[in-house]
Amino acid sequence: MHAFAVSGKGGTGKTVFSALLIRELTKKGSVLAVDADADSNLPEVLGAEVYGTVGHIREDLLKKKSELPPQVGKDVWLEGKTHEILSENRGFDLLVMGRPEGPECYCMVNNLLRRIMDMLSENYAYIVIDSEAGLEHISRRTTISVQDMVIIADGSQQSFNTAVRIRELAQELKARFDHMYIVLNRMKNSDPERAEKTGLTYLGSIPYDPEIEKACYEGVPLPEHSAAAESVQHLLEKMT
C-alpha cells in the first residue's frame, strides 16, 4: 500500500489536486480516498455520496459505549460502523472525517481516523489523504505513516511560507515521509527556483484550467478530461 497526503495553504487547490490524483490512481489499482479536512469538499469534486463521517462515529461511540454488550468489542463495533459510512464508488472508496462538535473533539476524531485507516489500509493499493489546510494534519499526527507528502502552492508568498512551515514542523515531529514535494498550481508561468527555495522537492506545475474553475464555481464534479488532469498524470508518473 502506498499513501499520499496533500496539503498546503487554504485556497491553493489541494482538494482539486487530491481528486485528480485519486482518479489517476484508480487506473493503477484500488484507492481509499480520505477527506481529513473538517471543511469537507472532496466528495463534491469527486461526485461521491456521503453516508456518514468519522465525526458521527465519535458521537455514536460516546452515546453507546456504556450500552455495548460485553461480547461486542469496540473494534468489532468500529468496523461495523466504518462500513456504514464508507462511500463505495467506481475505482475508489471514500472516507470522510467530518466536522467534530468542538475544538476539544479533534483528538478523538483523529485517533478514530487513524485506527480506521489502519484497519482498512490492507484492502487498497493506494491511499490519498486530502489534509486540512495548513499544519494541523502534522501537528495532530494524522499523516505520519504517509510515504509521499505533496504541498500545493499557488505562487503567493503566503503559500510558500506555509509550505516552509509544513516542512519545518514535519522535521520537528520526525515525520517519516519518503518524499516531500511542492507543486505549483494555477500559475501562468512556473517558477521552479522559487519553489525549490522552500527546501522541498519541486515536482512540477499545473496550469490554470477554466474547465476546473467552472466546475468548482458551479459545485459539480470535476470533468473527466482536462489540462489539469493531464498535468497530474505526468506528476504521478514522476512520483511512481
Query: How far from the centroid of its chain's Cα atoms is residue 2's Cα?
Result: 13
Supply the pLDDT for residue 69.
61
- Mean pLDDT along residues 131-150: 79
Angle at CA of residue 113, ends 141 and 89, nearest 5°: 125
Judge whether 137 and 36 are in contact, CB under 8 Å: yes
Supply the pLDDT for residue 56.
81
Taking each helix axis as running N to C, give the angle between helix 106-120 and helix 74-85, from 0 to 180 degrees, rounded to the nearest 10. Answer: 80
* pLDDT tops 90 at residue 121: no
Q: What percent of the chain has pLDDT over 90?
A: 53
3-state helix, strand, coil in the chain (%, to 5): 45, 20, 35
- Mean pLDDT along residues 48-61: 83
237: which residues sit within 8 A by CB, 6+ positions away? none
- Mean pLDDT along residues 119-132: 90
Length of the chain: 240
CATH of the domain at 168: 3.40.50.300
Judge whether 148 and 178 are in contact, CB under 8 Å: yes
Domain range for residue 73? 2-239
> What gap in Å lies between CA 14 and CA 181, rounded to an integer?
13
Using pLDDT thresholds of 50, 70 and 90, give the confidence band for residue 34. Answer: very high
Using pLDDT thresholds of 50, 70 and 90, give the confidence band for residue 104. Answer: low
Phi-psi region of 205 (alpha: psi -120 to 50; beta: other; left: phi over 0): beta
- Mean pLDDT along residues 210-233: 93
Judge whether 182 and 217 are in contact, CB under 8 Å: no
User: For residue 196, how many other CB atoms are within 10 A of its CB?
Assistant: 12
> What gap in Å lies between CA 116 and CA 44, rounded to an integer?
22
Residue 128, beta-bridge partner list: 4, 33
> What gap in Å lies between CA 137 and CA 157, rounded to an integer?
21
User: For residue 63, how many other CB atoms are within 10 A of its CB?
Assistant: 9
66-85 pLDDT per residue, tens = 666 665 566 777 778 888 88
192-203 pLDDT per residue, tens = 899 999 999 999
Comparing 203 with 98, which gets the higher pLDDT? Answer: 203
Domains in the chain, number = 1
Question: Which three cell numbers, joined as nine digits, stand for 31?
Answer: 484507492
> What gap in Å lies between CA 41 and CA 24, rounded to an integer?
19
* pLDDT tops 70 at residue 144: no
Judge whether 165 and 135 are in contact, CB under 8 Å: yes
